[in-house]
Chains A and B, each alone.
Chain A
Amino acid sequence: MTMDTVITGLGTVSPAGLGVEAYWEALVEGRTLIAPIPDFDTEGFHVHLGGKVPGFDPYDHIEGRFVVQTDAFTRFALVAAEEALRDSGVDTSVDPYATGALICSGAGGVEFGQREIEALWSEGPDRVGPYQSIAWFYAASTGQVSIRNGLKGMCGVLVTDEPGMLDALGQSARTLRRGTSSMLVGGAEAPIGSPFSLACQVGSEVLSPGVDPTTAYVPFTEGATGHVPAEGAAVALVERADVARERGARIRAVVAGQASTFGGVGVFDPGGEGLLWAARQAMERAGVSPEEVDVVFADAVGLPKADADEVATIRRLFPKGVAVTAPKTGFGRAYAGAGALDVAAAVLSLEHRIIPPTPHVLDAPFGLDLVVRVPRPARPRTALVLSRGMGGANSAVVLKHPEHA
């Protein structure tokens, strides 16, 4: 199954700030965006660092009526979706039924929920606001993005860890083939804004206990002790290639192939078999050989076993070697937002002809051409993005530069 889906709009809210430009600038610099979690005392959590979106006042970007009824993860989705839509130039008012939305979430609106539960316990059930009924919900971002932009096309939500965005790209390709003209697809997450949010994650034992932002999240190294959680969102406007061409849109990247597998419950795909299968299938669907892939955006969990499995997978896929990067080590893993931010990074890498480095990892491990320390000028035409979720899901997507699709 070859795909005829193209990305014509991109929006991000990340620890680098608002907008794709700020995100790309930080990636190329390999900037450290990891810092102590600022909003509450993390003593007792065994997790102290995070990648936080800096200085985000929702009232600067979103109408008050949306602010009062949304959790932070939905606000990030709204802002990223607005950028993606503007970037694409699609006028959704022409036919509201022609555009859909699919925004992934792994944690939902826990921060909003904590506030309402505090009200419940301190003042009683009458103090729980009615918007609790919708704000915590995983589908809240899809719903609010649809409402705010007047979209009436197909909508959905994938409740996932990191692979969500990659899966969403695959799903949207099928939706577009059935007649929808365009879709806003993305992932949004706000998992470090409240003690309850963080408490929901510490049991997973995959988060780094480190307190030094430059050494806490260093996958593929002997110092790997897990990853740093982050918040943020990325949204892409995808549309059918023929629709995009007809309206003269700027095509930012072609979504050439995608595949998903499931590797096992409660673990990151032991052995890497599931990830390997997903990657091979995505490449086959895209019609690209290993020699044609110029860069791999690695999952980079930061746990020794998972890292070793991923290195083995990449070596089996590319026996002759391939450039590999994991820019997320500069700011952390934003769960469902992480895959989305990786897809955005891959699109920008193809566009700018630069492979951003893997911050904080100082040397490439044996047998892996990891881009470290400085960005690598290149002419990547095809990128492979790999992703695993802690629930065992794997996903891979092949993105192509439009001139080489």
Chain B
Amino acid sequence: MMTLKELAEKEDLLTAGHGLCAGCAIFPILKVVLRASQYPMVVSNDTGCLQMTTSHFPRTSWKLNWIHSAYGNSAAIVSGIEAMYRSLKKQGKFPLEKELKFLAIAGDGAANDAGLGPLSGAVERGHHFVYLCLDNQMYASTGGQRSSATPMGAAAPDTPASDALPGKMQARKNIARIMTAHKIPYVAQSAPWIWQDLYKKAERAFETPGPAYLNILSPCPFEWKTPTRKTIELTRLAADTCIWPVYEVKNGTKLTINYKPRQKLPVTRWLQSQPRFKHLEQSENKWIVDKIQEEVDKDWDYLLSAETEPKHRDN
């Protein structure tokens, strides 16, 4: 098991001096993920907060090869880079002994919405890469609008809560299940509070031959309007309420739940922690809270029933 000290001693490939907001989960997540590859990596960054705050010309926060081109295509870009790597290696134009890893990074907007086609295409083709989705459940860089990963009941600037409409009325797209259905070698969901799990999964993703998908909860204190010091704690609450289960699936079938809360907390604890759900406290919106609880229970029960390789409770 990697200790925090050992982790800290590894080289920082994303340096300080970036412009991410205070309390943003992206940076702590990447501190862990970027340390999990034993080989140099190339990053294809989708448009979003991370890309904008780390590549402001003439500075860069990246100490590795990095490219950004547009919104929604990071998986297609990385498939080009990875194919070129294979081609040059095959032709003897690139040292055979030298190994590189490829990482696409996108927000939930890019992964779930505009970039879902390119993502699906790239994993179907079987490129050797890791796709990291930093899921803050909305379009944060454009001001917090809803994405298809925004949970039901959340208020967003384009689905505001009013008497007529209590926030977003559609359920969140379950991208981890969508990726699992592609039967790719590795799909995992984790969060920064359980960093050893996150590290292990990132390491496994990099080592997996073929495509791997990491879905990581990444709170956005700026848009969620939560205290910056609560970021990591919130991701634990998400796991304890089963809003954000921590699990992994190998080859589309071997499912392991890596964290099972001793006591499953009600979703109201999660909803009450964020002003975007404030309107759900009104009695006429109770049906939405019930509905959210019902859906969370269903998803959790599904995972429990689908688990093929249970692990011992370690919390």
Partners in one complex: no
Report A's interface with B, CB cutoff 8 A. none
Report B's interface with A, CB cutoff 8 A. none
